[in-house]
């Protein structure tokens, strides 16, 4: 390429980038909801004008305070979409971070126990910046929030912010049977709790023995299982707060608070990891 051609190419690329930026800025954010045989797209503005939108006040574990949102019951948004008892809803954020919500919770109509809402940020009244987010972003434009009876606990990961898409999927164990615990392990065993907590809290970033779709952190099962190369007390410390073990500026894994993962549930995750290491041998 001559110097002139290169300049022209650079100018054209610049113009295209500018046009793309313009059209993105002009578009209202959308949420895509995909069932097994249909896809619907909702625009932020249209959702805010939906007759079922109301004010919902919740104790918000992500903002760590009481918050009031304009929100629509998730069950209303999912009306007409088949969600079987065992199905999950994959909630994907615009940065591709994703978490799997049990469908029976997300579409619950037993609202005395638990009710999920889609909170919609109004561009005219933006939400505050999320605590701990260096980019100062809010939880918007779409955010899944939960109203629940005091006896019901909800994994903090289920408060899915920066939401871009919801997709009905099979349960994680159906999709990734290699995670499962053997039939010889009794119901109620800690190893089962560990698997459940691992799916809820870790799989958004980590795969295990190649299973899952997390891609931010290392596979925790192979080539070597983490319980084979970490001393167990150090591994537990690391899961609780990675910075208590090692530090560098671009560290991504956040500490997990005992309110989101109790000490005994953390032990249970490590038990499950160790169980899977033994199962492989
Ligand atoms: C937000 C994404 C994210 C979540 C959620 C997450 N991790 Fe991580 N994890 C990472 C990343 C990224 C690393 C690599 C080190 C870093 O950047 O902090 C890591 C590193 C690790 C390591 C060290 C592995 C090694 O070989 O050095 C372990 C063990 C670990 N995570 C376990 C867990 C467990 C158990 C959970 C669930 C309780 C979890 N992580 C949840 C992102 C995450």
Specify the pLDDT at position 22.
44
Q: Are 192 and 271 in contact (CB under 8 A)?
A: no
Q: How far apart are CA 89 and CA 87, in angstroms?
A: 7
Q: Are 123 and 96 in contact (CB under 8 A)?
A: no
Residues lining ligand 1, judged by CB closer than 6 Å? 201-202, 204-206, 216-218, 220, 226, 235, 238-239, 242, 251-253, 256, 261, 269
Specify the pLDDT at position 25.
46
Q: From ligand 1's centre to the CA of 54, what distance in Å?
A: 37
Q: From ligand 1's centre to the CA of 202, what distance in Å?
A: 7
The preferred substitution site among 194, 196, 200, 205 for testing ligand 1, maximizing ligand atoms within 8 Å of CB, is 205
Q: How far apart are CA 101 and CA 82, in angstroms?
A: 15
Q: Are 69 and 55 in contact (CB under 8 A)?
A: yes
Specify the pLDDT at position 44.
97
Q: How far is CA 231 from CA 228, 236, 237, 272, in A?
A: 8, 9, 10, 15
Q: How far apart are CA 219 and CA 272, in angstroms?
A: 15
Among all chains, which residue has been given the structure tokens 């041998």?
Answer: 281
The preferred substitution site among 215, 217, 250 for testing ligand 1, maximizing ligand atoms within 8 Å of CB, is 217
Specify the pLDDT at position 260.
80
Specify the pLDDT at position 17.
53
Q: How far apart are CA 122 and CA 46, in angstroms?
A: 11
209 alpha-carbon distance from chain centroid? 20
Along the 281 residues of the chain, how does pLDDT read in single tens digits? Answer: 556 666 556 655 555 554 444 444 457 899 999 999 999 999 999 999 999 999 999 999 999 999 999 999 999 999 999 999 899 999 999 988 888 899 999 988 888 999 999 999 999 999 999 997 888 999 999 999 999 998 888 888 899 999 999 999 999 999 999 999 999 999 999 999 999 999 988 998 999 999 998 889 999 999 999 999 999 999 999 999 999 999 999 999 989 888 789 999 999 999 999 999 998 76
Q: How far apart are CA 240 and CA 244, in angstroms?
A: 8
Neighbours of 86 (CB within 10 A): 12
């Amino acid at each position: 390429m001559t110097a002139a051609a290169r300049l022209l190419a650079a100018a054209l690329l610049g113009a295209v980038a500018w046009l793309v930026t313009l059209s993105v800025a002009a578009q209202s954010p959308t949420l895509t909801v995909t069932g097994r045989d249909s896809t619907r797209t909702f625009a932020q503005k249209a959702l805010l004008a939906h007759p079922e939108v109301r004010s919902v006040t919740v104790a918000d574990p992500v903002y760590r305070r009481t918050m009031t949102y304009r929100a629509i019951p998730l069950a209303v948004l999912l009306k007409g979409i088949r969600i079987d008892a065992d199905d999950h809803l994959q909630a994907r954020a615009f940065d591709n971070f994703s978490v799997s919500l049990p469908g029976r919770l997300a579409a619950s109509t037993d609202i005395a126990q638990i009710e999920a809402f889609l909170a919609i940020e109004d561009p005219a009244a933006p939400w505050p910046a999320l605590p701990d987010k260096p980019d100062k972003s809010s939880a918007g434009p779409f955010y899944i929030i939960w109203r629940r009876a005091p006896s019901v606990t909800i994994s903090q990961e289920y408060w899915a912010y920066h939401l871009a898409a919801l997709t009905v999927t099979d349960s994680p164990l159906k999709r990734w049977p290699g995670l499962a615990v053997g039939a010889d392990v009794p119901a109620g065993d800690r190893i089962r709790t560990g698997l459940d907590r691992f799916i809820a809290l870790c799989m958004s970033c980590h795969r295990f023995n190649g299973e899952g779709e997390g891609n931010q952190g290392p596979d925790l099962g192979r080539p070597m299982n983490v319980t084979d190369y970490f001393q167990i007390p150090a591994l537990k410390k690391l899961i609780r707060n990675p910075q208590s073990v090692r530090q560098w500026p671009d560290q991504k894994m956040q500490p997990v608070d005992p309110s989101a993962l109790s000490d005994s549930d953390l032990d249970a995750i490590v038990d499950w990891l160790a169980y899977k290491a033994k199962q492989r041998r």
